[in-house]
Amino acid sequence: MKITRIEAWSVSMPLTEPYTIAYETIETTTNVFLRIETNRAITGYGCAAPDPEITGETPASVLQTIEAQFIPRLKGADPLRLAWLLENLKSQAGIQPAAMAAIDMALYDILGKVCRLPLWKLLGGFRERMITSVTIGILSEPATIEKAGEWVARGFKALKLKGGLDVEADIIRTIKVREAVGPEIALRFDANQGYTVTEALYFCEQTKQNHVEFIEQPTPKNEPELLGQLKRQTSIPIMADESLLTVKDAFRLVQSNLVDLINIKLQKVGGISEARLIDSVARAAKVPAMIGCMDESALAIAAGLHFALARPNVNYADLDGQIGLRGDPAPGAVNIHQGIIFPTDRPGLGCDLD
């Protein structure tokens, strides 16, 4: 089996509802899509969702990397030699995780199609579906409560509040949302690096009666030891997100007992292959994982879901990055019903692009 043709292109997708986090407001996202064709009429698809703040990449840089570095090395190669190809590309490209994630997804998609199995079954088949949280950006208190009510009315069982700009406002919004939605809805909080240790401890102290499931990356990503300070002083579980990009990061976080949980995003770690290694490190240390996402097409969300469904250590899902994207080329790649996210039953990632 040989790769005969590779094509990459970018698609800009406006959000139906822009949202704000601690360091930016997101109104639109641009993903890079990838098609890998083979001489056996099997085609694999991948997607990159670069973020300059997180991955250090842009859509233009991803396209340049794919066209200048990846295509010459992949054309004519056997796509089923997945590990060899990815290691070769990684050694050439350096740290370009979103670009690597797109290639990784497409090769896994081909593997699943060759085996005629959905990828989640091929990788282990631990579970069939997951509860996913849905994110509420930084809004006023009344608007946050209204949005929380809307999502709960649509059947979502887990809400993730964004914060990090004003700890007092974040505390009030968290308390009021808990009062509004009741005790049965899981409530998570993401400060996106916006807090000092003192602010994060204050938030945890003031909201500990509101059953916050965990607080995600409250402190700056380049100072992971601050996460450890928080972990030792609060009962609310501390999750690493932006501090985790590589297997080495995962090892440092869990070996030093800095976190209770980790957030694995395929776009920031480089795809399913790297995610499996990171999750194995975390599982060895008995640190559960969440599968997270960027603002990304349902195609990329599907890849994250297939990975999560196969891994016993991935206890949480935050796979809502496709909700509200206008013009997504892969709208049917996953299904969400009553806050539960399902894959399709088709082989590979379960989605073909026109």
Q: What is the three-class DSSP state of 264?
A: strand
Is 24 exposed, middle or buried, given 0-12, 13-18 or 19+ CB atoms closer than 10 A?
exposed
Run of H or E residues at 285: none
51, 57, 190, 296: the catalytic one is: 190
CB neighbours of 65 closer than 8 A, spacing ≥ 6?
93, 96, 99
Is 170 assigned a catalytic role?
no
Rounded CA separation 302/60 (Å):
24
Question: Whose CA is closest to 151, among 164, 132, 167?
Answer: 132
Q: What are phi and psi of 63, to 5 degrees?
A: -60, -40
Q: How far is CA 196 from CA 148, 164, 188, 193, 219, in A?
A: 27, 9, 19, 8, 6
Evaluated on CA atoms 283, 287, 291, 293, the torsion sign reads negative
147, 160, 162, 231: the catalytic one is: 162
Rounded CA separation 136/299 (Å):
22
Rounded CA separation 10/30 (Å):
7
b/e code 205-222 from CB counts within 10 Å (16+ = b): ebbeebebbbbbbbbebe
Rounded CA separation 260/239 (Å):
6
Is 190 assigned a catalytic role?
yes
Rounded CA separation 217/214 (Å):
10
Q: What is the three-class DSSP state of 284?
A: helix
Is 162 assigned a catalytic role?
yes
Is 241 assigned a catalytic role?
yes
265, 274, 279, 318: the catalytic one is: 265
CB neighbours of 190 closer than 8 A, spacing ≥ 6?
21, 135, 160, 161, 162, 163, 164, 215, 216, 217, 241
241, 260, 279, 295: the catalytic one is: 241
Which residues are the active-site residues?
Answer: 162, 190, 216, 241, 265
